[in-house]
Structures are given as C-alpha cells and as structure tokens.
Chain A
Amino acid sequence: MSLQDAAIAANRFGLGARPGDLKAIAGDPRGWLKAQLTPEPALPAPLAALPSTADDAGAFQKWIRQAGLTGSINAYAKAPSMSGGPMPGAKPGSPASQPGFSVEQSFIAFFGPRYAQALAARFQVATTTDRPYFERLTHFWGNHFTVSSAKPITQAMPPSFERDVARKHAMDHFEAMLIASCTHPGMLIYLDNYISVGRHSLVGMRPDLVPKPLRELLKGLNENLAREILELHTLGVRSGYSQDDVIALANILTGFTVAQDGKGGGETGLFRFQPYAHEPGPQTLLGQRFPQQDVSQGAEALTMLARHPATAKFIATKLVRHFIADDPPPRAVDTIAKVFQVSIGDLKSVCTALVDLPEAWDPTPRKMKPPEPYLISAVRGMGGPPLNGLQLAALLGKMGQRPYYAPGPDGWADVEGEWIGPDPVWKRLEWASTVSKYMATASGDPVALGEALLGPGLTDATRKAIQRAESPAQGLAILLVSPEFQRR
C-alpha cells in the first residue's frame, strides 16, 4: 500500500488522478500501470466516430471542389488566408465566384467543425479513460511523429494519423510504427514526400507523360521526409549521418505517395507505391546497400533505421525525458535503450521497463506539465467543466499549445523552459481563477481534493495556502496553480 507511489503512477505516468483513484491503485501502482500495456480491445467510441484516414486525406481537395476554387491546388495549399473574392477562375455559380468570398473564411467554415469534433474526442477520451498511461503513450507517439494542422493542406490529417499510427501501434514494435507513419497520407503530405520524384524514374525522365496540372508539382526529389526521418523519427540529429544519407533515403522513398484515384492500385487517399516515380537502382544508406527495386527497398531501409543503436538511444532519451526529467539521467537512458535493442523495439517491453526505473519513483515532481496535459489533469481532478472543441482550441491556443497545431515536425517541446515563461504561467492563473468560481461547489473542500489528487505530494505550504484562502473558490484556484499540481 503506497499512496505516494499511487500518486506518482496516476500523475507522472498517467493524465492526473481523479478523486478515489489513489486509493484504488495504492495496492499495486506498478501493476496498475503495467496492466494498461496491452493493445486496446476496441477503439474508444469518440475516436471510432471520427472520419477515416482516407476521408481526412481527401478533405482538402473536397474543400477546394466545394468552394469552386480552380487552378493549382498548391496555390491554396499553403495560403488559405488570402481573402477578397470573387476568385480568379472560380467555377461560375460557386461560392468562390461570389463577391465578398474569403478563402480564409471558407477554409474555416469547412474545417472548423471537423477540427472541433476531433479535439473534443481527444479530450473526452483523455479525461475519462481508465488507461491513462496507455493514453499518454498515444499522445507521446503522436508528438514524436508530428503531423501538424499548421500546414493547411494537412489541416484534417493529425487525428486519423494519431489514431491509426500512434495509437494502433503503441504496443507494437517501433519499426511497425515507423513504417505505418511513412505510409500514412498525413505524413507523406505533411513532409512533401507524396510529390517527390526520382530523377531517373519514368516520371523524372519523361515529365511530358504527366498530365499538365500535375507536372508543376511532380518534378523532382524532395528531401524533407527523409531528413526528418533521420533527424527526428529515428537516429536523432548529429548522430553521424550525412547529406548523402539524406539523399539516399529520399531516393529510396520516392514513389511513396498517396493514391489520387482508383487507377493504378490503392484506395483513394491512402498509401500507394508509384513505381513510375521511384528512383531505380540500389541505394547506399549509412554504408549499407539496398539493392531492392520496389517498395521493399523502403521497408528494408526503414527497418534498418528502426533497429539502429542510435535510434534505441534517441527514443530512450525522449521517453526518459518525457516521463522523468528534462535532463534524462544517463543510467535510465542506457537501461531503456538496452531494452529497446534487445527486444528489437518492442514498445510494450520498453514501456514496462520505464515503470521499473527506480528514477521514476522519486517523489519530487520535476516535469512541468505542458498546457494540454495540465488542462486534462485539472478536468480529471475536478470532474469538469465540460469543454467543447472550440473552447478547447481557444483556451489551449492562449496557453501556447493548440492541439494538433505543433509549430514544426519536431512537435511540442518537452522541457520546462518552453512552458514556464511568464505569459504561459499567467494564462494558467487566469484560467484557474475563472474556472474555480464555477467548479468550487461541485468539487468540494479544496484541501480534501488536493489530498485526493496528490496524496502525500500535497506540500505543507500549499495546504496552508489553501486553508487560508478567502473562499473555497480561491482555495481551488490555488490548488490548480500550485507547483505540485503544475508538475508531475
């Protein structure tokens, strides 16, 4: 029986305790965590109700069509905020042909409800799940392999990417998740690989065979995905690969694209290997030769990268940084890297080993919660308030972490310096002060709530500050912004 370990399990590994949780898991906190490391029997209903990957992948073109915009998709792909219609070349009678048409407003009207639904689903699952460690891992992997809505053409993609790649493979081998990521339309579009063409491929040699609107896009090699795979997804930056390796991997991945129509195989909107765009011939990556002539070249290369010792080290460092400390203890990193290597990247074994790290059970909470986990833990703790998708987007945007809008392919930062600036700290205080007025009655005595959520982690200083508060609402606000509630 350890309430302290229970608080660590629920807060450091989970998404924050709910009243009653600590007592329920105190008998075997480690066992409670490990029992969550199984594939999900079924998708949570709110996630199952979200659009399919193929539907997400087609959403951008559907918007272009519905609005009546014409011309190159890429003219709009990155610039939805231009405004003032009618648009040149718009289909007669379409919205885009009307005076006062705004591309930006049309974009928001089309994608806004979709985004709000996805956000509400993500938040609902996170605030109600009984498997919060598993849920944390899906968020972790969704951030490791970032696909961001910040790029308009992938606005709709992150929710299905997170569900069908990060979540689906959270208990799989890492190489399976890596391959799933590199064959998901979200990643292929986000990092431009879907339009990358091998120089000596048929499309590269005979652009005249390509229909004219596509020709402008499909003209050459794009290194973006290959570079980020090496730098962000597998080996890690400065791990010894060269620009030649980036180009070799980019060549290997030519032809990894998204099916645009039923012709040539592949369901529209899903992964398709396009041999006519694939750079022919063997490639040498990290000194290893890949002679395959087809999609298996990519599969082999990605598998090699997933099993590389630098990848084990890089992933171990990120996991230990995420769960334990901004400066990951080297011994803990070595332990996890070893498990990763020995198990060939078996994520269940790796996540079990994280629970077994002695460093994980240090009672001092070190990690500052980023805004979204902070909000999730507060809502789990108070049992409310209900927040819809648009409210979540506005609130978390103000706190500096609008979900699915990571600023770049490296995802959200995982160190305190990113989240403890004056403005984020102020925004949390603003929210705590506002919400506590609504939630004080429902959540009862704030000292008791603090004990229920933090166990022995509630410090004397915070307990006293809550006790001295002028009202239950003020006491609740102090609990919500206390150092031990903002950290885990």
Chain B
Amino acid sequence: MDRRQLLTTFGLSIAGAAVPRFAFASAPTDKRLVVVLLRGAMDGLSAVPAWGDPDFERARNGLAIPRPGEAGGGLALDGFFGLNPELPGLAGRYAAKELVVFHAIASPYRDRSHFDGQNLLENGSPRPYGLADGWLNRSLAGLPAALRTGRRDFAIAIAPAMPLILRGAAPVTSWSPSVLPPPDADLIARVQGLYGETDPALAKALAAAGEAQAAAAGMGGGPGEGFGVLMAAAAKFMAAPDGPAVAVVESTGWDTHAAQAGPYSVLQRNLRGLDGGIEVFAEGMGERWKDTAILAVTEFGRTVARNGTAGTDHGTGGAAFLVGGAVAGGRVIADWPGLKSSALRDGRDLMPTNDLRGVMKAALTQHLGVEPAHVDRVVFPDSAAAPAMRDLFS
C-alpha cells in the first residue's frame, strides 16, 4: 500500500476530526519541539561537571569527570561548568550558540521513586498521579491556529507504547519500527468500520496509527532501536512541512546505582547515545533545524557522592539540555547552590534552585506559541512558583 492509498483509507477519519485540513493551503508555522525523556534519573554532575566549584572533586569522591586536558577529561564550556567527554556534539552546539545547559534544576518532585518522579514529570501537576493525562498533550489544545492548520498530527511518540506525557484528549499518534508486511487497505477499512461501531478507543488508536504509517511510508525499520534510530525516525516525521509539531522520544537506562565511571560504563554509553542521537536528528531535520528545539529532561538527579557500589543513588537536583536551531544558546543557566556538605539537600543531593517547569513553559509559550494563560491554568496547574524562563529562544 502506498501513502496515497493509506490516506484514502483514513480520509473519513480525517474529515470527521475537528481539525480543518487544508494541506499546504496555509503554510504551517515551522516550529518543532522534541521532548526527550531520560528515564532512570541522569547523573547531572557526570553529564555537566562543575569544575569551578572548589568542592567538586572532593564531593564526588572518585566519580568526578576529569578536567579538560587530563586523561579522560571533559569538554570546557564557560569556565565553571563543562560537558562529559562523551558529549562532543553538544559541545559543538554550545559553541554554535544552539545549546542552553541547565544545572541544579528539578521538577517539583522531592521524593526518590522513579515511578512517582516520572509520573509527576509527565503529568505536569505538582504531585505524582495528580492528573491522569500528560502536560504535553494538554498543551496541544493551546497551539496557535497556524500550527494546527494543515497537519495530520500535532504530536507523535516514537515509542511502541504511548508515554503518559502525550496521553490525553488531543489527538496524538505513535510509531515504532516494523518487521511484518502492512495489512491491506481493505482489511484496514473494515476493521476501522468495526471499531467505529463498537469501540471508540480502538477506533481512535487505529486511525492515528494509519496516519503515522502513511507518514512513515518507505521508512522501514532501522538496524536497531537504539536512541539514534528513534531520533532519526523523529526527524523523518518532523522534517515534513506538515509533520507533527511535537515529538516525544524516550531514552532508558540512566539508573546508574553501580559502576558508573569509566568509558565502558552504561552511563558513558548512554551519554554517547544521547549525543549521537541529537546529531542524527539535527542532520535529518535539514533546513528545519533552525526552527527546532529539543528539551532533554530526567525525573530527578542523583546523589552527589559516590555510593558504596561505585555508582550514585536517587537524588534531587540535576541537569537538563535545551538544544536546537531555534534556541538562544551558548549559556549555562544555573543558580549554583554549591557542593559543600552543608549546601546539599538532606546532606546528599544537589539542591535544586530552578524549576524544570519554567523551561517547559518557555518552550511551549515562547517557542511553539501556546497561549500563556492556557499553560498556567491547564498545562501546569499550581505552577505559579515556576514562571516561564525568559529569552531562551532566538
């Protein structure tokens, strides 16, 4: 089946949706936002070492990333902060003023459960399970008309299951690489009809799946499902003129309780994958990179000191990245609390001094153009303490 056939198959569902479909009639605005969820809690002090802090090496107790020029040394940024040696792509983006690094930042979550922490990060309320849908989905209702017009999907998850952050009332789709031949158009139409009669949830899911398949026509599966493959797919979807404005890509395996140092550790491998994935995505976006922002966030940071198993445990403050052609970058934004024992939260965690919601709000309002009132009221309820950060986008 080709793309046109698929579109015909799903024509009915498109016509039935509330979204006017004037493909290319009015050019969609070209803004794109990718949210990368780093699941498992990335160690912010390994990703973004704070060499300017006189307590850094002492506090990390054997886990400090060596300084630039030393064996296995990292990459310098602003004289105080640097990047892990596995993040050369991001260092280049920093130099090109396309990267803002945030440090000592956290969601409002203050306990230490991954599942609650990720739930809060995705539901957008100040509480785990405070809301049953995701903040990014709720934001879609506030997208400006120009971004809604002529678009098959506002948002896509590059994942075999829809993550909470994108679950909700607004129509979204998902896609992951495939191995089996696609079903024929006739079977799809019959099944869509059956679902339409008896099962609205399945009907909605299948309609969205068909849209994604049409967009992915000819893409096929990649050699694997590593982060780079997923980011390449995300770029393929988003580079299209009428491609989704928003995407979510997940990266897992950041829960480094043991043996996190050294070039072969899972942490270093993850950072390498993150860096490569962002570069693959940037390349795939081509011209549209200049209108794009990627926000990479994690549920919480990790303990400052090395634990008994040469890793780190669940902490609080950590790091985040905002990178893209649309970003006013070349800066590290941190209200640095210091690494003295007395400055640590509960004597163990980096004290968070900035709220991730401020960055998320800025991405929605200043980058995508979502109504600020909608963001404050609906997307992030009870978030008055975390106003949108200013001047993050060019």
Asked whether B198 lies within 8 Å of A78 as measured between CB atoms, the reply is no
A423 at interface by CB-CB < 8 Å: yes
Asked whether A75 lies within 8 Å of B258 as measured between CB atoms, the reply is no
**Stretch in contact with the other chain, from B189-197, B356-364, B384-392:** B189-197
Task: Find chain B residues with CB under 8 A from A408 CB.
Answer: 40, 114-115
Of the listed residues B194, B256, B313, the one surrounded by the most CB atoms of chain A closer than 10 A to its CB is B194
Asked whether A478 lies within 8 Å of B191 as measured between CB atoms, the reply is yes
Distance of B152 from chain A, by nearest CB (Å): 12
Give 7 pairs: A residue, B residue, CB < 8 Å, sorted on A. Answer: A74-B258, A216-B310, A222-B308, A227-B112, A237-B113, A423-B174, A478-B191
Asked whether A482 lies within 8 Å of B178 as measured between CB atoms, the reply is no
**Stretch in contact with the other chain, from B259-267, B274-282, B335-343:** B259-267
Task: Find chain B residues with CB under 8 A from A426 CB.
Answer: 206, 209-210, 212-213
Q: Which of A77, A196, A478 makes the CB contact (< 8 A) with B259?
A: A77
Q: Which of A72, A79, A465 makes the CB contact (< 8 A) with B193?
A: A465
Q: Which of A192, A399, A425, A474 makes the CB contact (< 8 A) with B206?
A: A425
A416 at interface by CB-CB < 8 Å: yes
Q: Which of A424, A474, A481 makes the CB contact (< 8 A) with B160?
A: A424
Which residues of chain A (13-29) have a CB below 8 Å from chain B? Answer: none
Task: Find chain A residues with CB under 8 A from B174 CB.
Answer: 421-423
Where the two chains meet, the residues of A that have a C-beta atom closer than 8 Å to any C-beta of B are: 72, 74-79, 81-82, 192, 195-197, 216-224, 227, 231, 237-238, 243, 394, 398-400, 407-408, 410, 413, 416-427, 429-434, 459, 461-462, 465, 468-470, 474, 477-478, 481-483, 486
Asked whether A227 lies within 8 Å of B190 as measured between CB atoms, the reply is no
Task: Find chain A residues with CB under 8 A from B307 CB.
Answer: 219-220, 222
Q: Which of B187, B212, B264, B313 makes the CB contact (< 8 A) with A433?
A: B187
Q: Which of A195, A400, A486 makes the CB contact (< 8 A) with B258?
A: A195
Q: Which of B175, B212, B269 makes the CB contact (< 8 A) with A79?
A: B269
Distance of A218 from chain B, by nearest CB (Å): 7
Which residues of chain B (261-309) have a CB below 8 Å from chain A? Answer: 262, 264-266, 269, 307-309
Asked whether A217 lies within 8 Å of B157 as measured between CB atoms, the reply is no
Asked whether B205 lies within 8 Å of A422 as measured between CB atoms, the reply is yes
Task: Give the docked Cα–Cα distance between A151 and B351 (Å).
Answer: 30
Q: B256's closest neighbor in chain A, by CB?
A: A78
Task: Give the docked Cα–Cα distance between A462 and B39 (Å).
Answer: 40
Task: Give the docked Cα–Cα distance between A18 and B194 (Å).
Answer: 24
Task: Give the docked Cα–Cα distance between A410 and B181 (Å).
Answer: 33
Task: Give the docked Cα–Cα distance between A197 and B310 (Å).
Answer: 13
Q: A221's closest neighbor in chain B, by CB?
A: B308
Q: B213's closest neighbor in chain A, by CB?
A: A426
Q: B270's closest neighbor in chain A, by CB?
A: A79
Q: How large is the interface on B (under 10, 10 to 19, 20 to 34, 35 or more residues)?
A: 35 or more
Q: Which of B179, B198, B252 makes the CB contact (< 8 A) with A398?
A: B179
Q: Which of B114, B161, B208, B262 makes the CB contact (< 8 A) with A75?
A: B262
Of the listed residues B114, B181, B259, the one surrounded by the most CB atoms of chain A closer than 10 A to its CB is B259
Given A426-B206, A470-B186, answer yes or no on A72-B259 (Cβ-Cβ < 8 Å).
yes
Asked whether B206 lies within 8 Å of A422 as measured between CB atoms, the reply is yes
Task: Find chain B residues with CB under 8 A from A237 CB.
Answer: 113, 115-116, 128
Task: Find chain B residues with CB under 8 A from A223 CB.
Answer: 313
Q: A204's closest neighbor in chain B, by CB?
A: B308
Given A79-B265, A398-B176, A420-B205, answer yes or no on A482-B181 (Cβ-Cβ < 8 Å).
no
Task: Find chain B residues with CB under 8 A from A410 CB.
Answer: 115
Given A408-B115, A416-B201, answer yes or no on A423-B313 (Cβ-Cβ < 8 Å).
no
Asked whether B259 lies within 8 Å of A78 as measured between CB atoms, the reply is yes
Asked whether B309 lies within 8 Å of A399 as measured between CB atoms, the reply is no
Task: Find chain B residues with CB under 8 A from A72 CB.
Answer: 259
Given A217-B309, A422-B173, A478-B190, answer yes or no on A78-B266 (Cβ-Cβ < 8 Å).
yes
Task: Give the docked Cα–Cα distance between A75 and B258 (Å).
Answer: 9
B344 at interface by CB-CB < 8 Å: no
Task: Find chain A residues with CB under 8 A from B183 CB.
Answer: 429-430, 432-433, 477
Distance of A314 from chain B, by nearest CB (Å): 14
Q: A75's closest neighbor in chain B, by CB?
A: B264
Distance of A406 from chain B, by nearest CB (Å): 12
B188 at interface by CB-CB < 8 Å: yes
Task: Give the docked Cα–Cα distance between A424 and B198 (Å).
Answer: 19
Distance of B166 from chain A, by nearest CB (Å): 9
B79 at interface by CB-CB < 8 Å: no
Task: Find chain A residues with CB under 8 A from B115 CB.
Answer: 231, 237, 408, 410
Asked whether B202 lies within 8 Å of A420 as measured between CB atoms, the reply is yes
Asked whether B257 lies within 8 Å of A222 as measured between CB atoms, the reply is yes
Q: Which of B159, B187, B258, B310 makes the CB contact (< 8 A) with A423?
A: B159
Asked whether A238 lies within 8 Å of B212 as measured between CB atoms, the reply is no
Q: A435's closest neighbor in chain B, by CB?
A: B180
Q: 6 closest Cβ contacts across the A-B interface?
A: A220-B308, A421-B162, A400-B160, A433-B183, A426-B209, A422-B209
Task: Give the docked Cα–Cα distance between A12 and B40 (Å).
Answer: 34
Q: Which of B157, B179, B257 makes the CB contact (< 8 A) with A224?
A: B257
Q: Name 5 extra pairs, CB < 8 A, besides A433-B180, A433-B182.
A: A227-B112, A243-B112, A398-B178, A417-B167, A474-B190
B184 at interface by CB-CB < 8 Å: yes
Q: B176's closest neighbor in chain A, by CB?
A: A423
Q: A480's closest neighbor in chain B, by CB?
A: B191
Task: Find chain A residues with CB under 8 A from B116 CB.
Answer: 237-238
Q: A219's closest neighbor in chain B, by CB?
A: B308
Task: Give the docked Cα–Cα distance between A423 and B172 (Å).
Answer: 11
Asked whether B181 lies within 8 Å of A430 as measured between CB atoms, the reply is yes
Task: Find chain B residues with CB under 8 A from A423 CB.
Answer: 157, 159-162, 174-176, 209, 212
Asked whether B258 lies within 8 Å of A398 as measured between CB atoms, the reply is no
Distance of B137 from chain A, by nearest CB (Å): 11
